[in-house]
Structure 1
Amino acid sequence: MASKILTYSTDPEGILTPKPLSMDEEPETLSLRPRALSDYVGQPEVVETLEIAITASKNRSEPLDHVLFHGPPGLGKTTLAHIIANEMGGNLTVTSGPALEKGGDLIGILTHLSEGDVLFVDEIHRTPKTVEEFLYPAMEDFAVDFVFDKGVHARSHRFRLNRFTLVGATTRVGLLSAPLRDRFGIFRSLDFYTEKDLITIAKRSAALLDVAIDTFGAAELARRSRGTPRIVNRLLKRVRDYAQVRGDGVISKATVAQALTLEGVDEAGLTALDRRYLETIIRFYSGGPVGIEAIAATLQEETDTLVDVVEPYLLKTGFVTRTSSGRRASEAACRHLSITCRKDPLFDREE
């Protein structure tokens, strides 16, 4: 729930009185996130699952089952957590796995949750093991166990929690431990968006930003957005700036092309890092196969950055394939970069 900031102003008699000014009642930032499932675009199976579960939980006056979302970054995991809290009528508490360094950090959050609240843990696979142990009884029995003293004087106390809903989000579901993963009642995967859905999102966001965009401009923006709503909204803001400064304020196909060329985003939505990744495989390693560690060392980038940010879309579009021997660049990638791929007859015969 948003809180108002009170600004103290001086009245004619010189007495300070709390009086919220008009500017304090305005939202600090314009959010492009939908607030209800009816406004959410894309992921129809996920939305239908949540609609059924939320309606059933509200009819029974029970909290929603714990929910786990997994998929590449920017597909709406955090947005769905906000929507769940709004639909269930509870407050949302947001944290992340790396932020929960000690068990006391998690216990402090859990003990302050009210009945029906939603706790959202982003990158939940990065939660330390010692902290994760506290989640098991909290999720299953709505309780946390404290141990006082040490040795022969040690004693345990169970503290009852208000019933809440844990919403977890992860980009690496395989790194989740089985005991934690099995305690989620709703387990859904988010996939890349279709171009049609991205066009709808681009038009909706443009209306919220009060900028004019035509159908061809929205289609071109969607085509270059890597199937990801977060990237659509980010690129829309950059194109809006370009249209206002270098154009007539209306976002057209030509405006999108000019603005995104300046941003380094090509016709397929590839960024400079994506193209360097592909060029490294093709030029330095003859198209592959090559291990991810070798690619990361050549690019001087972190392996996790390549695996979590770069590769999902390249794999989805078929520019890169994974084999038992490593990554390979496809012929489509060579054509896109206008580079001649070297054939490896021996490797092709073994496949």
Structure 2
Amino acid sequence: MGDVEKTEFNLPPDTTRGMGRPDGSSVDPSVQPTDRDIETNLRPKSLDEFIGQPKVRNQLDLVLTSARNRGTAPDHVLLSGPPGLGKTTMAMIIAQEMGTSLRMTSGPALERAGDLAAMLSNLMEGDVLFIDEIHRMARPAEEMLYMAMEDFRIDVIVGKGPGATSIPLEIAPFTLVGATTRSGMLTGPLRDRFGFTAQMEYYSAEDLTRVVTRAARIMDVPIDAEAAAEIASRSRGTPRIANRLLRRVRDFAEVTSNGHIDLGATKEALVVFDVDELGLDRLDRAVLSALIKGHGGGPVGVGTLALAVGEEPSTVEEVCEPYLVRAGMVARTGRGRVATVTAWRHLGLQPPDTAPGLF
């Protein structure tokens, strides 16, 4: 068996213990948590704490409550949506709500069927197996997963050639939680085996303001309501980005003032970190500038844009373009990318009569 990337979480009900010793006491009172520790503490531990995604929360609450009442493992769950919306957090919450352990891996780590067999054979009854980017799992591992999801057993092939034999191996009933940013790349047989499918949506500014306020409270950082709303408005509808911007604004406030985050400090900090009022960063603006100033607003192919900004085409297409399209700044056409009126005006330029969205 090859090495498998996996982590087991036994989630405690209280994560507010100190750092340092195994019992939670602090070795040094001056020790400060790292950003990774803060990010872990910012994750909600229950559906009640989870902000946003009301439809998904309500549906999932019904699924989990019903499973608890029956004393069985919940149906397999598929979570789809853009990065940073809480799919991993939701998997942790499922394990927490069911009182079981969470085992984590990713699709690219499961290169062989043996890798998956090693994980499945070690599961205890009721465990939650979380596979991130499940659409990137190797085909042999995916085909083994079909039988495991339906019948809770796998066939292990021993030997090679004519002498190879298949040994059936029973596995404990478990719940698979799959996360994908590209649900269209999932095969039909795999998608059909999930009993519950949830589509995670981008967050509203109001929900993100609540996310920022909650995170600031956990981090023990004083913040004004206007500052929290400003950070939320520049976070692209994504809690992960909101938490990251909050940490950078906190750094700025601690260095330049008394640590209190007000609206003025927030705006100054986001200027320093190249995040404008619409949430665009340096690379986003570079793409718009190349599209408008370098090619008259398009149409331009994504490869040409990538060459102009010194990035890979996949970076422009997967990192920048989704938000620029959603923000109404770039239109995708059969001949290439075209800048809209909003993009021209955002760069302080007069749009031509042919720009999309002028009339």
Say yes or no: TM over 0.5.
yes
Long gaps (5+) in structure 2:
1-9
Change (3 A) 1:99 1:237: same
Runs of 4+ with >3 A deviation: 340-345
Does residue 160 (structure 1) correspond to residue 170 (structure 2)? The answer is yes
1:298 aligns with 2:301: no
1:216 to partner: Cα distance: 0.5
The 1:20/1:317 distance shift into structure 2, 3 A limit, reads: closer
Compared CA separation, residues 38 and 21, structure 1 to 2 (3 A): closer
Picking from 110, 128, 133, the partner of 2:120 is 110
- Whether contact under 8 Å (2:235, 2:242) holds in the other structure is yes
Q: Distance in 2 between matches of 1:341 and 1:46?
A: 41
Other structure's SS at 1:212 match: coil
Note if 1:60 corresponds to 2:83. no
Q: Is 2:324 aligned against 1:314?
A: yes
Q: Partner of 2:155: helix, strand, or coil?
A: strand
1:64-75, aligned counterparts within 5 Å? 64-75=74-85
Match of 1:23 in 2: 26
Partner of 1:289: helix, strand, or coil? coil
Determine if contact 1:171/1:308 at 8 Å carries over to the other structure. no
Distance 1:304 1:127 in 2: 20
Q: How far does residue 232 in structure 1 lie from its aligned partner after superposition?
A: 0.7
Residue equivalent to 1:11? none
Q: Distance in 1 between matches of 2:125 and 2:131?
A: 18
Q: Check whether the contact 1:282–1:341 (CA below 8 A) recurs between aligned residues.
A: no
Give CA deviations for 1:90-141 in whole Å, capped at 9, x if unaligned. Answer: 1111111111222221111111111111111111111112221211111111
| Structure 2 residue 108 is the aligned partner of structure 1 residue 98 | yes
1:243 paired with 2:253, answer yes
The separation in 2 between residues aligned to 1:67 and 1:306, in whole angstroms, is: 31
- Name the structure 2 match of 1:188: 198
Amino acid at match of 1:341: P
Letter in 2 for 1:132: E
Number of corresponding residues: 334
8 A Cα contact 2:11 2:96, kept in partner? no
Residue 7 of structure 2 corresponds to which residue in structure 1? none
Is 2:210 aligned against 1:207?
A: no
From 24, 30, 36, the equivalent of 2:46 is: 36
Aligned with residue 138 of structure 1, among 136, 148, 151? 148
- Does residue 229 (structure 1) correspond to residue 232 (structure 2)? The answer is no
One-letter code aligned to 2:325: L
TM-score, normalised to structure 1, is 0.89
1:266 is displaced (CA, Å) by 0.4
CA RMSD of aligned residues (A): 2.3
SS at match of 1:23: coil
Tell me how far apart the structure 2 counterparts of residues 186 and 307 of structure 1 sit (CA, whole Å).
30
2:339 partner amino acid: A
Matched, 1:50 2:53: no
Q: Specify which of 81, 84, 90 is matched with residue 91 of structure 2.
A: 81
Structure 1 residue 239: Cα displacement? 0.7
| CA distance in 2: counterparts of 1:304 and 1:158, whole angstroms | 42
Question: What secondary structure is seen at the aligned counterpart in 2 of 1:42?
Answer: coil
1:52 partner SS: helix
Shift of residue 47, structure 1, vs aligned partner: 0.6
Amino acid at match of 1:23: S
1:222 touches 1:232 (CA, 8 Å); kept in 2?
yes
Question: Which region of structure 1 is more displaced relative to structure 2, 292-301 or 157-166?
Answer: 292-301
Deviation at 1:343, TM superposition (A): 4.2
Contact 1:281 1:288 in 2 (8 A): yes
Whichever residue aligns with residue 258 of structure 1, its letter is E
Question: For each residue in 1:239-260, what CA deviation from the matched residue of structure 2 results, as whole angstroms up to 9, or x when unmatched?
Answer: 1111111022111111110011
How far did residue 2 of structure 1 move? Answer: 5.7
**TM-score under structure 2 length normalisation:** 0.87
Specify which of 252, 268, 278 is matched with residue 262 of structure 2. Answer: 252
| 1:285 equivalent in structure 2 | 295
Q: Secondary structure at the match of 1:251?
A: coil
